Amino acid sequence: MQHEINAALLFVNSDRGFSFDELVLRLQEVLKQKGYRAILELIITLVQDKLFSKLLIENGLPHLNCPCGFGEFYRHGSRKRTIRCSLGEVVIQRQRIRCVNCKRTHYLLDGFMDFGRYQTKSNELERIVVEAACGTSYRRAVKDLGRDHVVSIPHTTAHDWVMKTDCSEIELSNRVIGSQPLQVLADGTKFKGEGVNNEARKGDLKVVIGINTASQVFPLGTYAGNSWEDINKEWEKHQIKLPDGSIFISDGEPGLADALANYAEEQQRCHWHIDRDLYHAYRRDGALNAVSKPIREALRGVLAIELPNQDFELVPESEKDKIEDRMEKAEQAIGQLIQHLEEKGYTAAATYLGNAKRGMFGYIRRWLKWGIIGPRASSMVERVMREIGRRLKKISYGWSDRGAEKMAKIILKKFTQAKEWEQYWLEKLKVDNKVQIYWRWVEHIQPHFGH
């Protein structure tokens, strides 16, 4: 189909002059508030009229099939529907037709323009609202959209749209995980949850991400109100199996390593967290920084075993043997340190180091066996948690577990998979060059004065 639309724009200006900025603002105002919406409504009307004419001539349309198999229809009134989009609220007079045989009613535009049966918003507006809401509070998001003349909607409506969107779906399967060795990183954080019986409640959010050998980051799940053991059961339910050579990296959060470490061949405790958490363990034992600082500095030196940057196959065997020997000596030194702490009565510090010891050099053992260099810290998942925490903790409060989990999934997908996020919306919006609009010309129409 091809249509040509002519529009008339009345321009009035003061003889005393005006500013360029006012001209820009006035043109923007008239197009956004009335012009775009009027053109859109006219285009839809033209398409619908053309479809009805084609229906009468050809006794049927490719997208319109009555279940009874009969191909003749007649006009059966119309019904208005208001659909919100980024151009404003568009009122569509939807033409109804009825099957001559079974009397079933159909709408001409539904199949042709992919309208949902009860659709009240466009998918492109849904994307705008979702992306605005994951960056700031719902109230501020809709206020900014209204100020920018996109559309005016209540913040409760924006919340409903976000909760119902399917853009947050995270697939947890062995197909997504693939067959290449992974780095699996997990972390948790607290947020201000909705009150229970007029009492404040702290929510608990957990995030798991994967990084493949091509350094591509992808989400493996977000969970609110679940323990690490609950997440383990969820993984068992999906029969998750990590490829050989995978490593699990964590900060040592209680219950985390015990629940998920068995999925990977090696586990690695974040070295930065070991230093920080050992300080707090000393404090629980009543020791001040002056006591713990020399021990922590010595521990940093023991842990600082650097791996060669060159290809594993090019590293001499003698160099590999030296690194393995240094790792074994470091483990012995840490064992002696644990014994020293126990003798001094620093039981909390000794217990912490004893639990952390088994994951201190996972990155070395993985390199020696598989030739894959991995991180010694959980910095990538920490970056992800900062993005999520900024939205959940610094901007809003009173989250339900469901709402916090939903928002975390959206942020996680948008942050870690920008290309996949863009592709998802292209497919949902069905942008495949089936519509083209060209600007033909703009000209001044000379007024005609009567004689």
Per-residue pLDDT tens digits for 273-319? 999 999 999 999 999 899 899 999 999 999 989 999 888 888 899 99
Instruction: Give the pLDDT confidence score for residue 448 in this predicted structure.
Output: 61
User: Residue 10 corresponds to which tokens in the numbers above?
Assistant: 């009345």
Instruction: Give the pLDDT confidence score for residue 253 in this predicted structure.
Output: 85
How far is it, in rounded angstroms, from Cα 260 to Cα 250?
10
How far is it, in rounded angstroms, from Cα 19 to Cα 17?
7
Instruction: Give the pLDDT confidence score for residue 380 in this predicted structure.
Output: 87
Give the residues of the chain that fall short of pLDDT 70. 59-60, 149, 447-451
70-113 pLDDT tens trace: 778 888 888 999 999 998 889 999 888 888 888 888 888 888 88
Count how many residues are written for the chain.
451
Strand partners, 395: none
CA distances from 251 to 152, 185, 377, 406 (A): 44, 9, 8, 24
How far is it, in rounded angstroms, from Cα 446 to Cα 146?
37
Per-residue b/e over 398-435, b at no fewer than 16 CB within 10 Å? Answer: ebebebbbbbbbbbbbbbbbeeebeebbeeeeeeeeee
Give the 3-state secondary structure of residue 232.
helix
CA distances from 121 to 128, 156, 254 (A): 12, 15, 45
pTM of the model: 0.83
Closest by CA position to 74, among listed 92, 62, 56, 61: 56
Q: What residues have CB less than 8 Å from 299, skipping those under 6 apart?
A: 274, 275, 278, 334, 337
Neighbours of 328 (CB within 10 A): 12
The angle formed by the CA atoms of residues 288, 292 and 293, to the nearest 5 degrees, is: 110
User: Residue 250 corresponds to which tokens in the numbers above?
Assistant: 């964590």
Cβ-based burial of 87 (10 A; exposed 0-12, middle 13-18, buried ≥19) = buried
Q: Where are the alpha helices (DSSP H) in 250-314?
A: 256-260, 271-284, 289-303
Contact criterion met (CB below 8 Å) for 252 and 268: no
CA distances from 377 to 268, 373, 374 (A): 8, 12, 9
What DSSP assignment string belongs to 391-407?
A: IIIII---B-HHHHHHH
How far is it, in rounded angstroms, from Cα 123 to Cα 389?
27
Q: Which long-range contacts (CB under 8 A, 24 or more apart) does 254-258 make?
A: 255/227, 255/228, 255/229, 256/186, 256/188, 256/228, 257/359, 258/228
What DSSP assignment string belongs to 313-366?
A: GGS-HHHHHHHHHHHHHHHHHHHHHHHHHHHHT-HHHHHHHHHHHTTTTHHHHH
User: What residue has token string 């940093």?
Assistant: 300
Phi–psi pair at 391, nearest 5 degrees: -80, -40
Q: Where are the alpha helices (DSSP H) in 113-265?
A: 123-133, 138-147, 155-164, 174-177, 228-237, 256-260
